[in-house]
Amino acid sequence: MKKQRLVLAGNGMAGIRCIEEILKLNRQMFEIVIFGSEPHPNYNRILLSSVLQGETSLDDITLNSKEWYAANGITLYTGETVVHIDTDRQRVITDRKRTLPYDTFIVATGSSPHILPIPGADKEGVYGFRTIEDCQALMSMAKHNQKAAVIGAGLLGLEAAVGLQHLGMDVSVIHHSAGIMQKQLDQTASRLLQADLERKGLTFHLEKDTVSISGTAQPDGIQFKDGTSLKADLIVMAAGVRPNIELAVSSGIAVNRGIIVNDCMQTSEPNVYAVGECAEHNGTVYGLVSPLYEQGKVLAKHICGVPCEGYQGSAPFAALKIAGIDVWSAGKVHEDDRTTSISIRDEQAGIYKKALFEDDKLAGVILYGDTRDKRRFLDSLLTQRDISIVKKQLFAPEKTDTSFKSMPLSETICQCNSVTKGAIEEAVHTKDLTTVEEVKHCTKASGSCGGCKPLVEDLLRYMSSGEYTEPAGTPSFCGCTDFTEDDIIAELQRKPFTTPAEVMNQLGWKTKNGCGKCVPAIQYYLEMLYPGFIQPEPAAEDTCTLIPQMYGGRTNAEQLRNIADIIETYSIPDASITHSQRLKLSGIRPADLPHIKNDLKIPAYSNKHRRTLQSVRACTCGQNRSIQKLAAQIERHLEMLSMPACISISLSCEADCTAAALQDVGAIRTPAGWDIYIGGVRRTHARSGALFCVTDTAESTARMIKGLIQYYRETAHYEEAVHQWMDRVGIVNIREVLFEEDLRTHLLENLKTDLSLIQKLPLKTGAHKKG
């Protein structure tokens, strides 16, 4: 079969990453031709500032050598630019008059530095900072000049300024705003950063608008709008970038600020796509490497015919690459009327941390001076989990002695290239890697922005220590998939799945319909995570079982007479008392079930279809009816809610008639109030529960138990018993959440919402909807 021809305009990081993904998916599908305006193979543009700062060399930032192109059958034309796309004839024309037909064409032309349109901007000695040639020119000029001025105090401008200072120059930074890095930092972090950079020797001129550059052939100074001036013989323009859209404009392709693309990265013309800094998706042009790589993956899947949900946008994050200064931010950094925030500041240690929330979801983070937890924050931002219940824990640093030991293999180490801890460990073991450079070459970890390089170094150090034990392999969730349970939960949080079948299809299940272990687990997680999910009807059975709901184990003569009449009317063959003090009716014909439910006049459920709280046992000694009333109240607020596992709750007098301390959750009435226990086990290997807290009123006891159950529902694994959950999460952490009034109130509101949705539904056998 003849290969299709794929032509790529742009030999940079975004375009080549897309090509790499295509080669992974289908090496035989395309004849690939690449045009690059620069005379070099693909290199890491992000690390040019590190070259200026003396931390790496130009040779070290090459990502794909010329040998790589040849080995993959790619035709590369360097120093040649595509200048026109003839979309009618599906061919491109270059600045060397070369004409080449295409089947698929990708525009990855990137962006260019914004050179201020002012007098003197064209002088020799005025540079952008975007290419290897720019970097080489700055290094050369620094040998013969003394005073440098960098216009722009964003990421690139600050990194260039420190690099020029490393080359021995006296450097001033000019910025039009009142704060540096104002797009990535709030006012507090901006001031901290400015103070640290001033201590390193940089000078700042803020709220200055440059109007001209003086000098003859070369610059000798800068004039500002306010009439002041500054001497400088080398000037770097770092006042932002502009997408390179000229090729699209000249070819009649729709543009705005960038080349407009849809979720598949397709432009307004068929078979023409765009990725990277030149592309505009849903009104946004991305300039950081991680979103560009995500775009490349989506486009590769689309043109190779692999099903995918399309590009959904990215949560941008930024890290300043200056030795001795740790700065990281992600998402939203400025507050407005929709946001709330939590911040801490340790002036003595030079640490500042801030998290912004919208609708109880993490919307943005700023870390200054201590960025160890950036992976945890980014994961919370990307998954958009409801994290209001762990706000207090957000700024508790990860324990250094367990950071790698407890880190799951699926956790991402390199966000830019999506390299996990497990991938690095596997590469180290199978290929005997010992250095960061070897890991980078093999896995691409730390090969883009370089921000994770210290983490990779620490992981290698940990793996070579006596504490490291090679994992025997994390068991998969079931035989239908290689995913672990944590992997599945992470994927469900990351993508908006609607059915178990969709989950199994998208995640590549080995068996089409799953099994009795994975299907109900997926159903439960979907129910907890996504509004509107309805569990499917169970398969029809010969007979049904029904348990009338008797709150707190209490009933009356009227209810019992009605139940007796129903048993006789519908010839129910079996009625028995369960271990949880409930009456169970078995052997019911399916056709009679809806009529029986209607005639009962009280709620009833079938315990076969869903894990629910079936009852709250109450003390039966008769000494204190208030205990039974409290049990009934709690049961009404928890009935019919899906649980990760079957759960038992018991309330008792001081004599502990119901063995409350051996239940999943138990409360014992004392003269001073209530002792609440969790994590008891009353079956084989019985154990007493741990004393969780002491409450003084029935109302506070009910609120604590209901909040505790909701926290268990939201954070436990499927089929994870309460005692197992408590051992995994830790009773101290559970207390921290439940003892905080705001967090407990939030849990109770979630519980109320879940219960109201169930009560509004006509409850079919096993059907349940969560909104």
Binding residues for [4Fe-4S] cluster: 619, 621, 653, 657
Residue numbers belonging to the annotated binding site:
619, 621, 653, 657
* Torsion angle, alpha carbons of 670, 674, 676, 680, to 10: 30
Conformation bin of residue 353: beta by default, left when phi > 0, alpha when psi is -120 to 50: beta
Whether 155 contacts 124, CB under 8 Å: no
Please, which residues have CB within 8 angstroms of residue 2's CB and are 6 or more apart in sequence?
none
Cα–Cα distance for residue pair 241/246, rounded to 1 Å? 14
Cα–Cα distance for residue pair 745/751, rounded to 1 Å? 10
Radius of gyration of the chain (CA): 32
Show contacts of 294-299: CB within 8 Å, 24+ apart: 295/14, 295/18, 295/265, 296/14, 296/15, 296/17, 296/18, 296/20, 296/21, 297/17, 297/18, 297/21, 298/263, 298/264, 298/265, 299/18, 299/21, 299/106, 299/264, 299/265, 299/273, 299/275
Q: Report phi then psi at 618, rounded to 5.
A: -125, 155
Whether 150 contacts 160, CB under 8 Å: yes
> What would the DSSP string read from start to end of 203-261?
EEEES--EEEEEESSSEEEEEETTS-EEE-SEEEE-S-EEE--HHHHHTT--BSSSEEE
Tokens encoding 3: 């290969």
Whether 477 contacts 517, CB under 8 Å: yes
Buried b (16+ CB within 10 A) or exposed e, 9-18: bbbbbbbbbb
End-to-end CA gap in the chain = 51
Element (H, E) at 632: helix 625-638
Whether 548 contacts 519, CB under 8 Å: no
DSSP state of 538: P
> What would the DSSP string read from start to end of 715-735?
HSPTT--HHHHHHHH-HHHHH
CB atoms within 10 A of CB 178: 11
Cα–Cα distance for residue pair 287/244, rounded to 1 Å? 12
DSSP state of 27: T
Point out which residues pair with 111 in neighbouring strands.
243
- What angle in degrees, to the nearest 10, is found between the helix axes of 625-638 and 741-760? 70
Q: Kindly report the CA angle at 751 between 746 and 753, in degrees rounded to 5?
A: 95
Cα–Cα distance for residue pair 90/109, rounded to 1 Å? 18
Residue numbers belonging to the annotated binding site for siroheme:
657
- What angle in degrees, to the nearest 10, is found between the helix axes of 289-303 and 13-25? 40
